């Protein structure tokens, strides 16, 4: 029975190993000038998701090499959330992926004396992809670059507290940038719930900003919910904003309406403007507001300006009413006096 178990384990090991292709070996007793570039024969095309294993030893650093690289190409970019490295050795060099002439290259920036390692790869049924790999000492000149983060199982702490007496840093050389991810397993399987929230420090096509994204478990919901630009501007691309109190500070106010030289529009002019354009002067139309949005601070000042103008109209109307009442009272007194004189004669 023990022999059968050993035989089964050996066959399973051979089967698993056969899924990987030995693609390259590297060994040198010198120190790289530029860094080590693994020039693969894997095409830079959407939906590529291979696994690449580096094993060996870095004598200059006195560390073993055990690195597993996984990446995913989506819409012509290395997909940062699913592209990563896990390490089972003590050597963890900075590794950047890039597209050079339509092929994926793997660049190790660390310049360590006397490094030797082998490379194995899997993930495609096309045997041509595992031929003609090379490892050279030359600069990285490709585009679509992505520096991969190291992610190991021991870095995730389940059902416990994780206290840091200091700073926590996440750095990724990509448009998405460093990120912080929060999962809630209870939301898994519901396409209307955010199973995962991610905080990104973004640039490039996303704009220079800090962005909060949420994702459903099947990625049918995948969007930015809050964007804080590097210049301090903030936006909610979707959803509503609710608060107990909002304070808008801006200058100037609309007190210029009460200045002596302010020209108060004639009511006839306002009437004509409303009749022709269907909205108040100096106030955007409903169509323009829907298209361009509303600057709350400026809009509040415009509304205050109209209220102050309306106040001046009301004051003037009150004066006219008082004057009219006086004239009516005089006419009444005059009529009463003339009637008295008529009956007296």
DSSP 264: P
Q: What mean pLDDT is predicted for residues 202-213?
A: 93
Q: How confident is the model at residue 215 (pLDDT cuts 50, 70, 90)?
A: confident
Q: What are the start-end ranges of the E strands in the chain?
A: 21-28, 36-43, 51-58, 63-70, 73-74, 77-78, 84-87, 95-100, 103-108, 115-122, 134-137, 143-147, 179-183, 196-202, 209-215, 222-229, 234-235
pLDDT at 208: 95
Mind listing the pLDDT tens digit for each residue in 48-89? 889 999 999 999 888 899 999 999 998 889 998 889 999 888
Q: How confident is the model at residue 342 (pLDDT cuts 50, 70, 90)?
A: low
User: Which of 127-136, 154-163, 211-220, 274-283 is least confident?
Assistant: 154-163
On whether the CB atoms of residues 254 and 241 are closer than 8 A, the answer is no
pLDDT at 12: 41
Residue 32: what are its φ and ψ, rounded to 5°? -60, 145
Q: What mean pLDDT is predicted for residues 134-162?
A: 79
On whether the CB atoms of residues 262 and 309 are closer than 8 A, the answer is no
In the chain, the percentage of residues whose pLDDT exceeds 90 is 37
User: Which of 104-118, 190-204, 245-259 is least confident?
Assistant: 245-259
Residue 335 has pLDDT above 80, yes or no: no
Q: What burial class does residue 296 get, using C-beta atoms within 10 Å of its C-beta: 0-12 exposed, 13-18 middle, 19+ buried? A: exposed
Q: What mean pLDDT is predicted for residues 172-186?
A: 84
Q: How confident is the model at residue 1 (pLDDT cuts 50, 70, 90)?
A: very low
Residue 91 has pLDDT above 70, yes or no: yes
Domain edges within the chain:
18-152, 175-235, 255-339
Mind listing the pLDDT tens digit for each residue in 217-258? 777 888 899 999 999 999 888 878 888 887 777 667 888 888
Q: pLDDT higher for 248 or 211?
A: 211
In the chain, the percentage of residues whose pLDDT exceeds 70 is 86
Mind listing the pLDDT tens digit for each residue in 285-297? 888 988 888 887 8
Q: For the domain 18-152, what is the CATH code?
A: 2.60.40.1680
Q: How confident is the model at residue 7 (pLDDT cuts 50, 70, 90)?
A: very low
pLDDT at 339: 61
Mind listing the pLDDT tens digit for each residue in 11-41? 444 444 447 899 999 998 899 999 999 999 9
């Amino acid at each position: 029975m023990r022999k059968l178990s050993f035989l089964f384990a050996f066959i399973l090991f051979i089967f698993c190993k056969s899924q990987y292709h030995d693609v390259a070996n590297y060994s040198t007793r010198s120190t790289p000038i530029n860094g080590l570039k693994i020039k693969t024969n894997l095409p830079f095309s959407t939906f590529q998701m291979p696994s690449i294993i580096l094993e060996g030893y870095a004598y200059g650093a006195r560390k073993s090499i055990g690195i597993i690289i996984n990446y995913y190409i989506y819409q012509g970019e290395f997909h940062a959330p699913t592209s990563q490295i896990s390490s089972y050795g003590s050597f963890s060099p900075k590794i950047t992926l890039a597209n050079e002439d339509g092929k994926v290259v793997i660049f190790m920036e660390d310049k360590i004396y006397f490094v030797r390692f082998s490379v194995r790869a899997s993930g495609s049924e096309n045997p041509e992809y595992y031929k003609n790999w090379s490892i050279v000492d030359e600069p990285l000149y490709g585009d679509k670059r992505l520096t991969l983060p190291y992610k190991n199982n021991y870095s995730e702490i389940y059902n416990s507290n994780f206290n840091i007496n200091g700073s926590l840093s996440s750095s990724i050389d990509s448009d998405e940038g460093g990120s912080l991810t929060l999962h809630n397993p209870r939301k898994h399987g519901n396409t209307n719930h955010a199973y995962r929230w991610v905080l990104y420090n973004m640039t490039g096509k996303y704009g220079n900003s800090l962005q909060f994204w949420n994702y459903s478990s099947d990625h049918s919901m995948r969007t930015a919910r809050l964007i804080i630009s590097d210049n301090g501007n903030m936006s909610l691309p979707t959803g509503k904003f609710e608060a107990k109190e909002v304070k808008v500070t801006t200058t100037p106010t609309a007190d210029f309406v009460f200045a002596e030289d302010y020209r108060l529009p004639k009511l006839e002019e306002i009437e004509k403007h409303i009749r022709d354009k269907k909205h108040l002067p100096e106030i955007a139309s409903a169509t323009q507001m829907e298209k361009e949005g509303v600057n709350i601070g400026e809009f509040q000042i415009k509304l205050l300006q109209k209220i102050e103008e309306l106040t001046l109209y009301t004051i003037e109307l009150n004066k006219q009413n008082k004057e009219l009442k006086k004239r009516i009272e005089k006419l009444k007194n005059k009529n009463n006096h003339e009637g008295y004189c008529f009956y007296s004669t």
